[in-house]
Structure formats: structure tokens, C-alpha cells
Amino acid sequence: MDSHLEIVTMNYIEIDDLKVRYGDFQALSGVSFNVAERERICLLGPSGCGKTTTLQVMAGFVVPASGEVRLAGRSLIGLAPEKRNIGIMFQNYALFPHMTVFENVAFGLRMRSASNAEIKQEVMIALERVKLAHAAEKMPSMMSGGEQQRIAFARAVIVKPSLLLLDEPFSNLDARLRQEMRGELLEMLAGLPIATIMVTHDQEEAMAIADRIVVMRAGHIEQIGTPSEIYDTPRSLFAARFIGDSNTFSGKVVSTDADIAEIEVGALGRVRGKNHGLNTGANAEVLVRPQRVIIAEPKSANTQQNSVPATVERVLFLGHRTEIHVRLDNGFKFVIWAPDHNRTDVQPGASVMLVWNVADTFAFPGGA
Amino acid sequence: MSYRPDGTYSAFGRIKRGALAAYVMLVAVFLIAPIVAITLGSLTDSNYVSFPPQGLTLKWYAAIFSKPVYLKALLLSLIIAFLSATAASVIGVLVAFAMHRYPTRLNILLQAFVLTPVMLPSIFIGLAFLIAYTRMGFGGSPLGLFAAHVVVATPFAVSLILIGVGAVNPALEMAARSLGASPWRARRLITLPLVAWSITAGWAFAFMMSFGSLEVSLFLNTPETVTLPVAIYTSLEWSPLDPMLTAISSGLVIVTLIVLLLLVRTVKIDQLMKRNGS
Amino acid sequence: MQLDVSRLKGWLALALVPLIVFAVIYVAPVLQLFWLSLSRFDPSSGIVPAVDPSYYVEYLTDSYYLGILGRTVIVSVATTFMTAILAYPLALYLLVSTGWRQTCLFIVLVLPLVTSSIVVSYGWLILLGQKGLVNDVVIGIGLASAPLQLMYTNTGIVVGLTHVLLVFMTLSVAASMQGIDANLAKAARSLGATSWTIFRTITFPLTLPGLRTGCLLVFSLSMSAYATPVLIGGSRLKVLSYLIYQQSSSLLNWPFAAAMAVILLASTLGIVGLVRFYEYVRKNTALHSADSVIEASR
């Protein structure tokens, strides 16, 4: 990190009220967000939420029905993709199979009519940076997945684009490989001072890579924030469920006071949680994360805590944590995570009391 | 790469595998028998067609040169096949890109136009061409023959080129565009090299179907438009036992074989089978 | 996907030339043929325009003509049957062989198709004639005492058609065989099944879609074949294609020939349609069948 001040353009990229339609289907219904000059943004959401469409609009392959896309103040609407100088990394990398690794990376420079000498120099430097100089004359099909990712990266950034787009880069990989590739990508991105927008449906990936996450659903934005902002203060049930793990159960709002709602949950009694737009009498979904719940003695809860009775169904020792699956007295299932250093010896069949903080409880409008 | 379509073959003992190979050999002999009979029969020294050949000589091939009618027919067939295959390939490229780039229901019309000729009886379209082209004024001319052969050959070129264009990852062109290539350059540098194999294969297939086509050429047959298959057909009615006829037929086989080998070298058989049938 | 104006222009830029060219040299002639089949022909004045289906009636009420149609159908069905039986081991071998062996088999399969039918039929003439190699061998082995009549028979026609069309059936069956999960047979074997049982209960049912495609294809092509049945069957054993050629070239009765051509087309489509209809009915009324389970899982 530099120690002297840098003026960083906050609204380097502006997306303003984008609307996209495919025939009768409204893919994007008014999407707006800004990206700062060196920021890493993740568009996160389930399939069909419009995240890839947003990317395609920024790349220039989809024309929006209305709305604005600005890069450094300049509107991109109507500008052909080849004139936007935006780097793209595709799912499956899209390396040109009939060209060598060298020619793949050199492609962007050739399009800019660079001289052969220039190209040779720049390409070899770029390949050295990703540690693939030795593979210059090989064909992409002979390279491993990780190597292909590095080639795709080198190819995209060698032309010094103003923006880098990544389209679900890890969705085809198994868990272990994903972690490795994610690490490699982060390393490559670290040396790169450009704005980056990544599309993914994997929330862990989003949290690992992004400075800010844009949670999307059905063509609109649910919430924008840093990973911890969304994790700690989700503004909707969807956002809360999509990021991190959660336990939920339903009830009816009995009273609201300041920003706390009190909810009647049938046989379990009452719980209290942070109110997110609930009125008395409404249906509510109550959410609490597995790692915030502990098994405690009955009656040990204080006024700032919720407690409900439950029966233990099974205990799974997973090494770094123990998962305790319980059934609440009203039939809902809960999962509790007990950390490694605080192992529990509770047995299946035991009747227990679950205790957690009101501050860790979210109450959202339910029945959606 | 070898396929194990089901565990049956891997569990075959040596006897069963041997039996399968023997069966395949027998069928292979069946399949090439008439063609071998013609080619080897043309080497016979006797004055009538005989297979196995009696004595070996190339005199019948030399005799072809004394009958210019066959050489003319061969030349016409080669030219028509070349031109038809080329036209069919051009149409194939246009159609394949139209269908893959713009997946709309309008493409049903395209398919109906360029793929159905192979589904209609050759007699049916031969007659249709005879009548219509005569009315349009070019019935007995090489132009009419050319038009008919283009129709016959196009479905073969189109089906192969469709496979080729369909096999290209659409993200590749997008990647090229994002790196600064105009749509035209992206197509020329990326897409076209990747479909080239299917264009060559389609051309070869179209050539062979045109070169060997009989029925359609028969209907449009006039003294100026005698193709090689038609020449052989008419001679067969008069003098089936003339060995020179087998020599000229072998000539046809040789041309076909050369183009077939070209096709086989460009196409990966497994790629072709993935799109065939169901 | 609906097209807006700019995308329509893009599509047209590509599709317009093929469409127009084929409209002129293909679609128009075919439509004209349908139209012509309803005209009359007078030997002295030529074609008389009319909207008169009497040639259809004439054909369909004449036992001689119907007999020819019947022979064409029977020969086609026989050919379909033969290719189906012969194709299975070939398809299996095609899939498991590698390198030059696979390429060779492919070439050998395709060769009868791409070699001009006149040459292939001439080859059969040489082989199957009274003094041909086949008869020499048969008499030599002692299977017969006098030369067999192989040319100019229905059997000869079926042999010739099978020869040309085997490749279609083989590739169709091979394509659907290729899609079978290799683990299925292994699972069956682990449960005690023999090779034949595996073929009967697993492989064969799962290749039914390919077999079906192959059968419809071979049948259609057999119905419309000209050179092979005419050259091997001769002018005595006529098939419908030959009749059409006769009517148009020697008798010059184009309208009648057109009507026959339409009848040929209709018969082929009709039988294919009947098969499809039968399958449709069976699929929708059967509670469980291998076919519907397979189709549902695709």
C-alpha cells in the first residue's frame, strides 16, 4: 500500500438505471451502481438474476433498452466492443485453440498494429509475469486449467484496459482447485491497478475477492456493500440468506419497539430481533447464523438474548467445527456450529436450550 | 482415442472379439466387392468383361483416349462437380452462419430450402427440374445441369458446415472483439480458421455427390450435357461386356476415392458421429 | 428469439442469396411439379392445363401400377430389415476400433454411397451374372449345379440397396450407441448378466432411437432409389422410380409422370408418418415401456 495520498476517482465507472429486455423477458429492470478506479466489485446472485447481462452490456455485446454506462465520464452506449478497451476473462477462458500461447497473448497488440519487435518484447514480459515464458510456443490445449487461466489473464491485461471483467471464472472447478485458482487470481490482480468487475453465484468467492459486493436478484439490485456490511447487516431476507449460512423460522409480529421486533413463534414462545420493515401483525422470517447460537443451560439467557428449546438430532464432527443438527419444538430445523476450541459433548436425543443474542437476530418480512 | 460404448466389448473374450473382427471383414468384402470387380476387371486381357481378370493389361485405359465422348463426359463431370461443390459450400457457409448467429424461427425456412432436396426422390426432383428448367429456357444447357447439381449437392455441404460452425465456442469471437478486433477481423482470424475443416469436408462431400449423380443428370441429358455417369449408363445398355467401359468406370472410382481420402483426412470421424442420427 | 429490424437485416444479409437462389432452382420447380400432376396430357397437343386428379385415380385403380408400388414398398422394407440386422456389429466395431482400422471401416462404409450408382451396379452385374464370380464360387463349392439367377431378381435388388444404404443405418445406430453410459453394462455384469443379456436388455433398447432414425432413413432412400433397382432389377422388375422415368422420357407424358412422382413421395411420407403415429399412440397409452423411459430421460 502506498503511503502518500492518491486521488482515486470514485465514480470511475457509472452504471445508471440500466434496463434490458429480451423479447418479453425483463432481464434488467433499472440497475445502478458505481465503481471506483481501482475497486474490485462482485456481481453476486443466482442464475437468471441479470449479473451476466450487466457484464455483457458493459462489454458492449448487449444493447440496453435504456440507461447509461459511463467510463471515466465518457458514455459507452453505442460504442462497439472492439473500441472499448475493456479486458474480459471468460468462463472456460476462451483461448484461441488454433493459435500458440504467444499468439493468444499477442492478439490484442496485433489489433493495435504494434510492431513485431514491440509485440515480442511485451508478450514475453507478460508471460514472464505469469511464469509461462517457457510455454510461449505451446498450444492452449496442452496447458493445465491453472495455466490457461494465467494465459487468459495475460491476454486480457496486456493491452492495458481501463476495466477488467470476469465471467464466473471458477464455476467449473472442484472445491480444492477453486481455492488454488482463486489464490492465483488474487495474486495476479494485486499487481494490477485497474477496476475489476466479477460475476459469480458463489458467495464465498465474492467475499474473498470483492471490495464491494452487488447482490442481484431477478433483474434488480438487492443490496450493495462490503462483504462484512452485507454479512453483518443484510437488508433483506434474500441478501441474508445468500451471503453466509443461516437458520430461519417463521412467526408473527407481536410488537415493534424502536428497531426491535418481537415475534411470536408458536410453541417456542417469543423471540426478538432487528426489525427490517415489519409492522405489528405481519408475517415474519427470523434468521440467525449457525455460529452465533450456543447450547446453554435453561434460564441462563439474559434479556438481550433469545432462547428456545430443542432436541438434538445428530452431531457431526467436521474437524474445524462441530455441526449440531437440532429440531426445534415447533418442528423447524436448526444447525449450530460449535468451534474447534469449544467442543461440545452433547448427545443425540438430548433436550437442550439454544441461546443467542438479539443483536444477532434478523427479522424480515416473511411469506415472500 | 478408443470408445467403449458399453461394457459389452470390454468383457468380450478373445473368441468373441475375433468373431466380431471376422464379421466386419466379411461385410467389408461385401461392401467393396462390386467396386473391386470393376477396377480389377478393367485390367483383363480378354475382349469381354471378366472378373477375376484374365491377364493384366492397361490397354483398355489407353483405348479410352480413342473415344473422345468419354473424355468429354469426364471433363464435364469434373467441371460441374467442382463448380457445384464450390457453390454448395458458399451457400453452406452463408446458411450455417445465419442459423447460428440468429437463432430464430425464420431458419426453418432456410432449412426447408437447402436441406430437403436430399429427402425427395431423385426421380422426383429430376423430373421437376426437367420441366421447370425447360420452361425457364435453360433446360438442356450446361447451366441447367449446373443448377440441378447445386441443388443436389448443397444439403451435403450444409450439414457438414453446420456441424463445424456449431462446434465453435461463441466466446472466442467475443474475446477477439474485446481485444480490439472488428467483427469482420474476428470472423476472419478466429472463426473461419476453426470452421475451415468443415468447409473442406463439405466441399468434398458435395463434389462426390455431384460427380456421381445419375438420375438428375439423366433427366437433363442432351448431347451437350452428357455427364460421365450418364455416358456409362447409356453405353451399358448397348455394350455391357466391353471392358473399356470398366476402365472408364474405374476412372470414376479413382476420382471419387481421391476426393474421399481428402474428406477423411479433414474430418475427425468421432466428431462426425456425435451429430449423426438421433 | 425475436428479431428486431437491425438483427433481421443481419440475418437477411446472410440468408437472402441462398433463399432466392433455391427458390428459383428448387422450390419453384417442385411446386410446379405438384401443379403439373393435376394437368392432362394429349399426345398431339402436349400438356393441357387443368385441375384434374384423374391421373391419380388412374394410377391408384390400376392393378399393374399398384403392383409396382407394392414391389417398391416390399423391396424397401426388406432392405431396411437387412441393413438393421447387419449394422449392429458394424456399429460396435466402428466405435471400439481406433486409428487406421476405424478410418478404413469408415471409408469402406462410405464408398458405396459416394461412388456413382451406375458404377456400383455395373460391378454387381459383373459379379452376379451367370458367368460372374459369385456363381463360379457357388458352383465350385458345390452349393448349386447350375448357375443361379441372381441378377434381375428382387433379391438382387435388395442386395444392391443394402449395399449402398448400410452406411446410413450403421452411423445412426453407432451414434446412439456412443451415448450409452459405459457403466450401465458393467453394473449389469456385476449383477450376473451375460453378454447376450446385456445386449438384449440394455444396449439394444438404448439404441432404439438410432435404429428408428436409421430405419426411416433407409426406407425413404430405398423407396426413391432409381439406378440400383433399375440396373440390377432390369426392365422386367420395375420399381416406381423407373415407371416415372419411362413416362417422362419415352412417353413424354409429364403430367402422369408428375402424378406418379407425387404418389411415390406420398407413399414414402405416408408410411413414415404411420410409423411415427403408431409410436406416438403407443407412447401416450403405454404405462411403462423402455422406449418412453429412455425418451423421458433424454
Q: Model confidence over A318-345: pLDDT tens digits?
A: 888 888 898 887 788 888 888 877 666 7
Q: State whether residue B195 is helix, strand or coil.
A: helix
The answer on A256 and A220 residing in a single domain is no
State how far the Cα of B47 lies from the Cα of B250, in Å rounded to an integer: 17
Helix (H) or strand (E) holding A270: strand A270-275
Q: Do B172 and A96 touch (CB under 8 A)?
A: yes
CB C234 within 8 Å of CB C151: yes
Per the domain annotation, does A6 fall within a domain?
Answer: no
Residue B146 pLDDT greater than 90, yes or no: yes
User: How many angstroms separate the CA of residue C285 from the nearest CA in chain B?
Assistant: 23
For residue C27, what is the DSSP state? I
What angle, 0 to 180 degrees and rounded to 10, lies between the N-to-C axes of helices C254-285 and C208-224?
A: 170
AA identity, residue A193: P
State how far the Cα of A179 lies from the Cα of A183, in Å rounded to an integer: 6
CA A295 to chain centre: 31
Per the domain annotation, does A4 fall within a domain?
Answer: no
Residue B139 pLDDT greater than 50, yes or no: yes
Per the domain annotation, does A216 fall within a domain?
Answer: yes
Task: Say if residue A337 is exposed, middle or buried (CB neighbours under 10 Å; 0-12, 13-18, 19+).
Answer: middle
Domain that holds residue B193: 64-273
Residue B150 pLDDT greater than 50, yes or no: yes
Indicate whether this model's pTM tops 0.95: no
State how far the Cα of C245 lies from the Cα of C264, in Å rounded to an integer: 12
Per the domain annotation, does B59 fall within a domain?
Answer: no
What chain C holds in terms of domains, given with CATH numbers, is: 43-297 (1.10.3720.10)
Which residue among B8, B205, B229 sits closest to C198, beta carbon to beta carbon? B8
B63 inside 8 A of chain C by CB: no
Sign of CA dihedral A299, A301, A306, A308: negative
Which residue among A59, A92, A98 sits closest to B178, beta carbon to beta carbon? A59
Top-confidence residue, C147 or C238: C238
pLDDT value of position B277: 35
Task: Say if residue A287 is exposed, middle or buried (CB neighbours under 10 Å; 0-12, 13-18, 19+).
Answer: buried
Q: Kindly state the average pLDDT of the residues B10-35.
A: 84
Confidence tier at A3 by pLDDT (50, 70, 90): very low
Q: Which of B109, B5, A41, A19 is nearest to C199 (CA)?
A: B5
Please report residues of C whose CB lies closer than 8 A to that of B101: 10-11, 14
What residues contact residue A247 under an 8 Å CB cut-off, 6+ apart?
A: A287, A288, A289, A290, A293, A333, A334, A335
Cis previous bond, B52, omega within 30? yes
Per the domain annotation, does B117 fall within a domain?
Answer: yes
The answer on A201 and A257 residing in a single domain is no
Residue B138 pLDDT greater than 50, yes or no: yes
Domain that holds residue A82: 13-241
In total, how many domains does chain A have?
2
pLDDT value of position A336: 87
The answer on A264 and A195 residing in a single domain is no
Instruction: Decide which of A203, A219, A241 is a domain's last residue.
Output: A241
AA identity, residue A237: L
Confidence tier at A8 by pLDDT (50, 70, 90): low
The answer on B241 and B119 residing in a single domain is yes
Task: Give the CA angle between residues C61, C67, C68 to the nearest 5°.
Answer: 110
pLDDT value of position C76: 93
The answer on A166 and A71 residing in a single domain is yes
In total, how many domains does chain B have?
2
Residue B2 pLDDT greater than 50, yes or no: no
The answer on A141 and A91 residing in a single domain is yes
Closest B-chain CA to A154: B179
Q: Which of A69-78, A242-251, A334-343, B47-56 has the lowest mean pLDDT?
A: B47-56
Please report residues of B whose CB lies closer than 8 A to that of C123: 33-38, 249
What residues contact residue C242 under an 8 Å CB cut-off, 6+ apart?
A: C226, C229, C230, C235
pLDDT digits (tens, 9 = 90+) for C248-278: 877 788 888 888 888 888 888 888 888 888 8
For residue B115, what is the DSSP state? H
The answer on A250 and A231 residing in a single domain is no
DSSP string, A53-115: HHHHHHHTSS--SEEEEEETTEE-TT--GGGS-EEEE-TTTT--TTS-HHHHHHHHHHHTT--
The answer on A334 and A215 residing in a single domain is no
Per the domain annotation, does B216 fall within a domain?
Answer: yes
pLDDT digits (tens, 9 = 90+) for C3-38: 577 778 888 889 999 999 999 999 999 998 888 888
The answer on B256 and B177 residing in a single domain is yes
Q: Do B51 and C22 touch (CB under 8 A)?
A: no
Per the domain annotation, does B98 fall within a domain?
Answer: yes
Cell of A147: 495455466
The answer on A172 and A34 residing in a single domain is yes
State how far the Cα of B17 lies from the Cα of C32, in Å rounded to an integer: 55
Q: Do B124 and C132 touch (CB under 8 A)?
A: no
Instruction: Decide which of A215, A241, A267 is a domain's last residue.
Output: A241
Q: Kindly state the average pLDDT of the residues A201-228.
A: 91
CATH number at residue B203: 1.10.3720.10
- Could you tell me where the DSSP H helices lie in chain B? 7-11, 14-41, 59-64, 68-101, 107-115, 122-136, 142-166, 170-178, 183-186, 192-212, 215-219, 228-238, 243-266, 269-273
Q: Kindly state the average pLDDT of the residues B210-224.
A: 88
State how far the Cα of B85 lies from the Cα of B92, in Å rounded to an integer: 10
Per the domain annotation, does A1 fall within a domain?
Answer: no
Q: Kindly state the average pLDDT of the residues C175-184.
A: 82
Q: Which of B121-135, B162-176, B230-244 has the lowest mean pLDDT?
A: B230-244
Per the domain annotation, does B201 fall within a domain?
Answer: yes
Percent of chain B with pLDDT over 90: 40
Q: Kindly state the average pLDDT of the residues B261-265.
A: 85
CATH number at residue A59: 3.40.50.300
CB C239 within 8 Å of CB C71: yes
pLDDT value of position A298: 67
Per the domain annotation, does B53 fall within a domain?
Answer: no
Per the domain annotation, does A7 fall within a domain?
Answer: no
Q: Kindly state the average pLDDT of the residues A71-96.
A: 90
Q: Do A111 and B179 touch (CB under 8 A)?
A: yes
Which residue among C33, C116, C231 sits closest to B128, beta carbon to beta carbon? C33
pLDDT value of position A2: 47
pLDDT digits (tens, 9 = 90+) for C66-85: 888 888 999 999 999 999 99
Q: Do B175 and A90 touch (CB under 8 A)?
A: yes
State how far the Cα of A337 lies from the Cα of A253, in Å rounded to an integer: 28
Instruction: Decide which of A196, A213, A241 is a domain's last residue.
Output: A241
